[in-house]
């Protein structure tokens, strides 16, 4: 069974005002102290936290697992640890893909981040967005690229399911995932053409870096790519999700997509030759609508109700889900998400009932740290 891992980016915010706090360095220092055990016992432990482009962010990665229940346990555990370490420096964490409150982000120290700030200017300065990246193991680069070529049409539906960024600089953006629109300001981000082989994939990556626009392979921000560090396909289209059950649903769907695509490749079925220009429109539509408007059907590229596009994804991967023991989890997760709404819908409802954006952030921080939606 293919292993799955999840990376989540979280916001560090003030519990009272809801404003982002540039405290990632202090939180990481607290996490580093924790690695030597409680009360300085010297009992060494591991943590998985890292800094991100901005000081207002904290990132963690789960270990690779094969069971979705274990994956949820990992996410809940590391969110809880992040909340504990943040609390030692007067902050709370919030699984929000953009800050609802106005913010002037601070770029993290380090040569790479400073280079990004100088190279990309306002694009980097304003890029305070939090995503959810899902890794699924593959047997080889050749299999991985075959998967990338075959999952292209389905990725926008994952953006819609995960949408959790309706607010930007204190205003309702009218998007479900405004993070996806801000993220696509990077010159290497978004849908890509068919590659056809691992050699062609690596040739394109080398050529992109060779232009000098990108510093390294880590800046190849395709919607889905071969990981530079692990033997995985990395799907990067999702917002960080408010409820910890949602990234588990996404991970099951992504593993289903990877397995379905690999089987098609082994059976000699060619990838759908859908123009990248159409995939960009599908991506925009998913970011705009979330689950509260129409989406583009992954097979026909025609506008359909969101429920129809989500059902098409489910049916496409259903056999792989069944083989992994994930079918019931995904079916129930989709039904719950369509009924309750994704993070974008929850945030807008919280604003309607709570009356202020700080109240939205406070409630989202509570949910992130273990509360129920």
Question: SS3 letters for the chain?
Answer: CCCEEEEEEEEEECCCCCCECCCHHHHHHHHHHHCCCHHHCCCCCCCCCECCCECCEEEEECCCECCHHHHHHHHHHHHHHHHHHHHCCCCEEECCCCCCCCCCCCECCCHHHHHHHHHHCHHHHCCCCCEEEEEEECCCHHHHHHHHHHHHHHHHHHHHHHCCECEECCEECCCCEHHHHHHCCCCCCECCCCCCCHHHHHHHHHHHHHCCCCCCHHHCCECEEECCCCCEEEEEEEECCCCCHHHHHHHHHHHHHHHHHHHHHHCCCCCCCCCHHHHHHHHHHHHHHCCCCCEECCCCCCEECHHHHHHHHHHHHHHHHHHHCCHHHHHHHHHHHHHHCCHHHHHHHHHHHHCCHHHHHHHHHHHHCCCCC
Neighbours of 150 (CB within 10 A): 22
Question: How does residue 33 score in pLDDT terms, banded at 50, 70 and 90?
Answer: confident
Q: pLDDT tens digits, residue range 289-341?
A: 999 999 999 999 999 999 999 999 999 999 999 999 999 999 999 999 999 99
Each residue of 226-282: pLDDT tens digit? 998 899 999 999 999 999 999 999 999 999 999 999 999 999 999 999 999 999 999
- Closest of 150, 147, 141 to residue 199, by C-alpha: 141
- The fold of 4-368 is Creatine Kinase; Chain A, domain 2 (3.30.590)
Q: The tokens 């982000």 sit on which residue?
A: 105
> Residue 152 above 50 pLDDT?
yes
pLDDT tens, position by position, 199-234: 999 999 999 999 999 999 999 999 999 998 899 999
Q: Residue ranges per domain, the chain?
A: 4-368
Q: Phi-psi category of 187—alpha, beta or left, where left has phi over 0 and alpha has psi -120 to 50?
A: alpha
Q: Which pLDDT score is estimated for 46?
A: 67
pTM of the model: 0.95
CA angle 360, 363, 366 (to 5 degrees): 150
Q: How far apart are CA 355 and CA 226, in angstroms?
A: 43
Task: Report whether pLDDT(39) > 80.
Answer: no
b/e per residue 311-341 (b: at least 16 CB within 10 A): ebbbebbbebbeebebbebbeebbeebeeeb
Residue 145 has pLDDT above 90, yes or no: yes
Q: Which residues pair with 59 in a beta bridge?
A: 9, 50
Q: What is the pLDDT of residue 41?
A: 47
Which pLDDT band, with edges at 50, 70 and 90, does 45 fall under?
low
Question: For the stretch 95-116, what's the b/e string if a residue is b when 16 or more beta carbons lie within 10 angstroms of its beta carbon?
Answer: bbbbbbbebebbbbeeeebeeb
- For residues 365 and 13, is the Cβ–Cβ distance under 8 A? yes
């Amino acid at each position: 069974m293919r292993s799955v891992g999840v990376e989540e980016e979280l916001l560090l915010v003030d519990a009272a005002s809801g404003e982002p706090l540039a405290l990632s360095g202090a939180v990481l220092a607290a996490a580093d102290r924790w690695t030597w055990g409680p009360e300085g016992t010297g009992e060494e432990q591991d943590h998985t936290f890292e800094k991100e482009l901005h000081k207002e962010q904290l990132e963690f990665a789960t270990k690779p697992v094969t069971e979705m229940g274990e994956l949820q346990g990992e996410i809940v555990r590391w969110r809880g640890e992040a909340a504990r370490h943040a609390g030692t420096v007067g902050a709370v964490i919030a699984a929000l893909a953009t800050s609802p409150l106005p913010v002037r982000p601070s770029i993290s120290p380090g040569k790479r981040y400073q280079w990004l700030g100088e190279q990309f200017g306002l694009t980097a300065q304003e890029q305070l967005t939090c995503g959810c990246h899902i890794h699924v193991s593959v047997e080889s680069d050749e299999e991985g690229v075959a998967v990338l070529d075959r999952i292209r049409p389905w990725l926008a539906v994952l953006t819609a399911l995960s949408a959790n960024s309706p607010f930007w600089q204190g205003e309702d953006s009218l998007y479900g995932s405004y993070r996806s629109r801000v993220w696509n300001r990077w010159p290497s981000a978004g849908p890509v053409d068919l590659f056809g082989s691992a050699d062609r994939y690596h040739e394109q990556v080398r050529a992109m870096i060779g232009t000098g626009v990108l510093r390294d392979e880590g800046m190849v921000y395709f919607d889905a790519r071969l990981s530079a560090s692990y033997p995985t396909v990395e799907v990067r289209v999702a917002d960080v999700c408010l409820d910890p059950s949602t990234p588990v649903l996404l991970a099951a769907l992504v593993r289903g997509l990877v397995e379905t695509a690999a089987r098609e490749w082994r059976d000699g079925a060619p990838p759908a030759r859908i123009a990248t220009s159409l995939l960009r429109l599908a991506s925009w539509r998913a970011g705009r609508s979330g689950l509260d408007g129409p989406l583009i059907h992954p097979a026909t590229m025609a506008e359909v109700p969101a429920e129809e596009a989500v059902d098409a994804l489910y049916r496409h991967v259903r056999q792989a889900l069944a083989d992994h023991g994930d079918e019931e989890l995904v079916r129930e997760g989709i039904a719950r998400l369509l009924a309750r709404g994704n993070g974008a819908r929850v945030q807008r409802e919280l604003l309607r009932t709570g009356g202020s954006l700080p109240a939205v952030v406070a409630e989202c921080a509570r949910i992130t740290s273990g509360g129920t939606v």
